[in-house]
Amino acid sequence: MAYYVRMGQIPPKRHTQFRQPDGSLYKEELVSSKGFSGIYSNLYHIYNPNEVKSIGTPKPFHWEPAKEHGLNQTHLKTSGVETTGDDYLSARRMLMMNNDVMMGICAPKKRKMGYYFKNADGDELIYIHDGEGVLYSQFGKLEVKKGDYVVIPRTTIYRFEFAEEGPLRLLVIESHGPIETVKRYRNEVGQLLEHSPYCERDIRPPHEIHVEREKGDYLVQIKKQGFLHQYHYAHSPLDIVGWDGYLYPYALSIHDFEPITGRIHQPPPVHQTFQAWGFVICSFVPRLFDYHPLAIPAPYNHSNIDSDEVLYYAEGEFMSRKGIDRGSFTIHMGGLPHGPHPGTVEKSIGAKETKEYAVMLDTFRPLFITTDALEFVDKNYPMSWTE
């Protein structure tokens, strides 16, 4: 992130003595990116963060690409899925993947995690499609709600507690590289520029320190290289009395993204919300349509030569697509043209606005659906432009 946050108790000077009420030292931990060259935060523990009680047997936790699916425009009919598994990790079903990114859905039956999770492989972006709750991490308490993007830097130790009432549906994106704000919307010191579609005021870091002091048996499941490694500690990993820095989880609501419009149809980069290694994430939100007297609001046909394009349909009616429901995905592969379905171009002329919400992932290397995704494939979709 591009701005400094401090919470709780910290010493006046880093890497100096900071003592607990009983005279013992708090244990300082530097959490840093790119070795010591990227963004970082300093955390202050009651207990030693290296003190492991026991290590259990690793559990497999990975997905396989369905390479036999071939070059097909793809619709994954996931709109009717109510639950995808028992808890937050077993409910994850990653449906697309390459070496840079994975994307999938998570609709757990259990609303509270009975363990902590650390992703040591990549940054995570959790889009709260339905539901609300609290993210607890070393950095404190962060309330999240429907429409939030929740960005969780790698190695953050956390657990979710979601509200028991109402539907719960999450879109999960895991990135091999850091998930960042868009470079072209930042000035030379990292502040978001005046013409950015969102600013620091819209970004919500943890708002309250959350200290867990009690001893016991605390399980942290660590994702690394296709396994969940089972680490048990005699104290909670959330024993932090204070921290400061630039690295922390945060939330940004899709409802706070301000769309950029024009006289003629604007290309998808105006909707960009985040960047990462090998892909970008865009937000389609309610907006006025183009206002040239001869404008065509429907998007023009497009041939991707460098990227694969995924749309996750969140809310509203999508005027360029037929037969796509809330909670479904479309995947348009590089090498094939794609565009509006027949009849939707003429129908769009004269329309004044759209009230749709969608999350778009554009990758710059080929994206494969996983074997988990095969059951959701709409076999009629590749021929849907011939109606």
What are the average pLDDT values for consecutive 10-residue runs of the chain, which has 387 residues?
Answer: 89 98 98 93 97 97 94 94 95 97 98 97 98 98 98 98 97 97 94 96 96 96 97 97 97 97 92 97 95 91 91 84 88 90 88 93 96 96 85
CA atoms of 238 and 234, how far apart (whole Å): 12
Task: Report yes or no on 9 lying in a domain.
Answer: no
Q: Which of 62, 69, 176, 265 is catalytic?
A: 265
What's the pTM value of the predicted model, to 2 decimals? Answer: 0.96
What pLDDT does 191 receive?
94
Task: Report yes or no on 361 lying in a domain.
Answer: yes
CA atoms of 189 and 4, how far apart (whole Å): 12
Count how many domains the chain has.
1
Listed in sequence order, the residues at least 6 apart from 28 whose beta carbon sits closer than 8 Å to its beta carbon are 14, 15, 18, 42, 43, 44, 45
Task: Report yes or no on 309 lying in a domain.
Answer: yes
> Which structural domain range is residue 358 located in?
254-383
Q: Answer for the pair 278, 100: CB distance below 8 angstroms, yes or no.
A: yes
What pLDDT does 321 receive?
73
Task: Report yes or no on 306 lying in a domain.
Answer: yes
In the block, which residue shows the tokens 């409910």? 91
> What is the rounded (10 degree) CA torsion for 115, 140, 123, 274?
140
Listed in sequence order, the residues at least 6 apart from 83 whose beta carbon sits closer than 8 Å to its beta carbon are 91, 107, 108, 109
In the block, which residue shows the tokens 């989880």? 249
Q: Answer for the pair 359, 171: CB distance below 8 angstroms, yes or no.
A: yes
Task: Report yes or no on 11 lying in a domain.
Answer: no
- Is 338 known as a binding-site position? yes
Task: Report yes or no on 347 lying in a domain.
Answer: yes
Task: Decide the pairing of beta strands 92-97 and 368-369.
Answer: antiparallel
What pLDDT does 285 receive?
96
- Is 302 known as a binding-site position? yes
Q: What are phi and psi of 122, to 5 degrees?
A: -165, 165
What pLDDT does 324 receive?
87
* Among candidate residues 98, 134, 144, the one with its CA nearest the CA of residue 251: 144
**CATH classification of the domain holding 344:** 2.60.120.10
In the annotation, is 195 catalytic?
A: no
Strand partners, 170: 106, 128
Task: Report yes or no on 314 lying in a domain.
Answer: yes
Task: Report yes or no on 336 lying in a domain.
Answer: yes
What pLDDT does 385 receive?
84
What pLDDT does 320 receive?
64
